[in-house]
Amino acid sequence: MELRQLQYFLAVVEEANFTRAAARLRLAQPGVSAQIRQLERELGQPLLDRSGRKVTTTAVGEAVLPYARAALAAVEGIQQTVDEFTGLVRGQVTIGLVSATATDRYDVAAVLAEFHEEHPQVEISLTEDTSARMLTALRRGELDFAVVGIADDDPPPGISLRIVIDTALVAAMSPDDPLLTPSDRTELPLTALADRPLISLPRGTGLRGTLERACTQAGFQPRIAFEAAEPTLLARLASRGLGVAILPEIPPEAAAALGLCTLPLTSPRLRGRIALAWPTGGPTTPAARALLIRMQRFFSLVGSLQPPVG
């Protein structure tokens, strides 16, 4: 019996499918099937029922499952203990990132490259998704940590947060928009957008959650005409007069270059916030903990800059 066979067995059980398990393991499906068949021959009993649309455990497989999990956890614990004593960082780190944060201003790629250069034995996996889906992935243990947009003051159960970027949200529109009348207007109450087509990030992002919550509290539902994952595209749509974009605060000269005018939103004042999020108790591996600390330092240096907010 080999540890990899137990790893393959667990992957198939969790995915309920050989093909998905092989993709998760980054292996060919026939190889995964062959190893599990070998394990079953060594044990003398079938562990998986392959007769249905989903692969399920047999009675023996269900009884073996907790021991397989315990064996793999024990091996991982041994390796982590040795790594912590020797200072060696290796293994795999899986992180999530809101799409709008992966910009030149926030050169996360450079941080990851520097970390990999220092710790070449660490395999880093990066995924982009909405904040809501990444928070769910954190709770499931599918991510070690993530950079997410948040709308709530309190973190979700089982999640710890550290705010790294906090900026005002503004209404951005073309220079001929009626909302800019009178010309000396310096801010815009949220209720002024009640009947206007709005341009926003998709549902599941922190900015969208903040907007929807504030509109509900103001007594109306936002009329979302366009949505996109990239704030620059939202700005371009607004500059063409297709609606009012809800964006992080933009310096006046940058807004003018995009063909936009912006007004701070009031009643209430809206904030866009980006946070580092990880499972309560911290990442489980030395590599993930080390990379999380590196990311915290990085955002501490750039947090005072104007962010895109996801």
SS3 247: strand
Pair (17, 152) in one structural domain: no
Q: In the listed set 86, 101, 121, which residue is the last one of a domain according to the structure?
A: 86
Pair (216, 70) in one structural domain: no
**What is the average pLDDT score of the chain?**
87
Q: Rounded distance, CA 9 to CA 17, Å?
A: 11
**Tell me, what CATH number does 15's domain have?**
1.10.10.10
Supply the pTM of this predicted model: 0.66
Quote the number of domains for the chain: 2
Tell me the pairing of strands 122-128 and 197-200. Answer: unpaired
Residue 170 structural domain = 89-310
For the cut 90, the answer to whether the pLDDT of residue 77 exceeds it is no
CB count, 10 Å around CB of 75?
Answer: 13
Pair (73, 208) in one structural domain: no
Give kind and range of the element (H or E) at residue 145: strand 145-150
For the cut 90, the answer to whether the pLDDT of residue 262 exceeds it is yes
| 229-247 per-position pLDDT tens digit | 888 899 999 999 999 999 9
Pair (33, 96) in one structural domain: no
Q: How far is CA 184 from CA 15, 151, 212, in A?
A: 59, 31, 28
For the cut 70, the answer to whether the pLDDT of residue 187 exceeds it is yes
Pair (176, 119) in one structural domain: yes
Pair (60, 149) in one structural domain: no
Q: Rounded distance, CA 82 to CA 156, Å?
A: 33
Selection from 10, 284, 291 nearest residue 123 by Cα: 291
Pair (46, 110) in one structural domain: no
The packing angle between helices 59-86 and 286-302, to 10°, is 60
Q: Rounded distance, CA 275 to CA 296, Å?
A: 10
Pair (218, 101) in one structural domain: yes
Mean pLDDT in residue range 208-216: 92
| 271-308 per-position pLDDT tens digit | 988 889 999 888 878 889 889 988 988 887 655 443 33
Q: What are phi and psi of 199, to 5 degrees?
A: -120, 125
Pair (306, 161) in one structural domain: yes
Provide the greatest CA pair distance for the chain. Answer: 83
| 168-178 per-position pLDDT tens digit | 999 999 999 99
Give kind and range of the element (H or E) at residue 232: helix 231-239
Q: How far is CA 238 from CA 178, 190, 245, in A?
A: 13, 17, 6
Higher pLDDT, 64 or 166: 64
Mean pLDDT in residue range 78-103: 75
E strands present in 81-221: 91-97, 122-128, 145-150, 159-173, 188-189, 197-200
Mean pLDDT in residue range 118-122: 87
Pair (161, 127) in one structural domain: yes
What tokens does 214 get? 């504030």
